[in-house]
Amino acid sequence: MNSNTTSLSVENLTKQFDHFTAVDHVSFSMRRGEIFGLLGPNGAGKTTTIRILLGLLVPTSGEVSVLGYDVARQAEEIRARVGYVSQKFALYPDLTAAENFDFYAGVYGLPRHQVNARRAELFQVVGLAEQEKQRAANLAGGSRQRLAFACALPHQPQFLFLDEPTAGDDPTSRRGLWDLVFALAEKGTSILVTTHYMDEAENCHRLAFIYQGRIIAEGTPSAMTEQTTFGAQVIEIDCAPLETALPTLRESQLFDEVALYGSTIHAMGAGAVGRISQARALLQANGVTVTRVETIAPSLEDVFIARLRQVSSG
Ligand SMILES: Nc1ncnc2c1ncn2[C@@H]1O[C@H](COP(=O)(O)OP(=O)(O)OP(=O)(O)O)[C@@H](O)[C@H]1O
Ligand SMILES: [Mg+2]
């Protein structure tokens, strides 16, 4: 990768807490203006990785550079050029939206005479211009998230770290925040985002699945879900009752994985499509009414489940 366009480089990063390995030989890199997603379940090591990249936590081993600066030796250079919305980011509830922003502008070292202009500009962008005098406690959830986002941007960072920025938000607010992320990336800001939401992962240019501190898959969302990468087929089954259908399909061993998605079942495995009629007959023999069976493109969630199974079975 050309060093002019590389915004992040992580090589063989490992972090141990006593004898527990939270981050295990993780490597990935990002280009300028790229939106990179780190996806993984609770405790996978996402926040630990971000804290190391910011120089807030010392790694056990590995090489990390952000915007061309080495984290071990040049953490101050990095902090001056990055924004961070931490997972536990809290606004001051008693301060107004404007006062919260001004506080963080000070934290990021924006000269005082630039604060008013920068606040006006950013509040316009994030849609808070009308609410700047409202106390943070009285803002709706989506507005609070957009204020948190603005509070990471006073100094026009070239790199933004977002640790689960949309957790708990409704779909409309999540969409609104992603629009802001796209706009920033388009102007050249690199963005590393963690999320639990698989549908949000589709918004990333590239992503990595992290599990027990290790990257178990990496690529663009489309490459990850392509059959060739995935090596398995997925069929979607609408049927009832589910409490009979699920164990019947699992015990049949016709598929590698049988998972519930809301009210439909996804059955996966190499050659899954060729077993549809067998599965249908088996379900009917067990008193299950099958209303629809369809071959579908695997979702990122299917890929994740399949990769997990491959990793756990060695
Ligand atoms: N300071 C610490 N001392 C000991 N163990 C820690 C410490 N910080 C994190 N861990 C452990 O490291 C693992 C990874 O934690 P981390 O917070 O990075 O996960 P995460 O992927 O961000 O999870 P979540 O989705 O819940 O935010 C967890 O098992 C956690 O308990
Ligand atoms: Mg976390």
Q: Kindly report the pTM of this predicted structure.
A: 0.87
DSSP assignments along 179-207, one per residue: HHHHHHHHTT-EEEEEES-HHHHTTSSEE
Do 128 and 179 belong together in one domain?
A: yes
23 lines ligand 1 (CB under 6 A): no
109 lines ligand 1 (CB under 6 A): no
| CA–CA gap between residue 122 and residue 257 (Å, rounded) | 47
* 231 pLDDT higher than 90: no
Q: Which of 48, 50, 56, 195 to mutate to test the pocket of ligand 1 (most atoms within 8 A of CB)?
A: 48
pLDDT tens for 210-222 read 999 999 999 999 8
Alpha carbon 185 to its chain centroid, in Å, reads 15
Could you tell me if residue 208 is inside a domain?
Answer: yes
Could you tell me if residue 227 is inside a domain?
Answer: no
Greater confidence, 89 or 229?
Answer: 89
Do 25 and 79 belong together in one domain?
A: yes
167 lines ligand 1 (CB under 6 A): no
Instruction: Give the structural domain span for 197.
Output: 6-221
51 lines ligand 1 (CB under 6 A): no
Q: Which atom of ligand 1 is least distant from the CA of 38?
A: 21
Q: Which residue has the tokens 């507005």?
A: 143
Q: Please state which of the ranges 69-73, 127-131, 136-140, 310-314 shows the lowest mean pLDDT.
A: 310-314
Atom 28 (ligand 1): residue with closest C-alpha? Answer: 43
| Number of domains observed in the structure of the chain | 2
Do 239 and 209 belong together in one domain?
A: no
Do 136 and 204 belong together in one domain?
A: yes
DSSP assignments along 222-273, one per residue: HHHHSHHHH--EEEEEEEE-HHHHHHHHHHHTSSSEEEEETTEEEEEETTGG
Mean pLDDT for the chain overall: 92
Quote the tokens at residue 262: 């809301």
Do 127 and 266 belong together in one domain?
A: no
- What pLDDT, on a 0 to 100 scale, did the predictor assign at position 1? 46
219 DSSP β-pair partners: 207
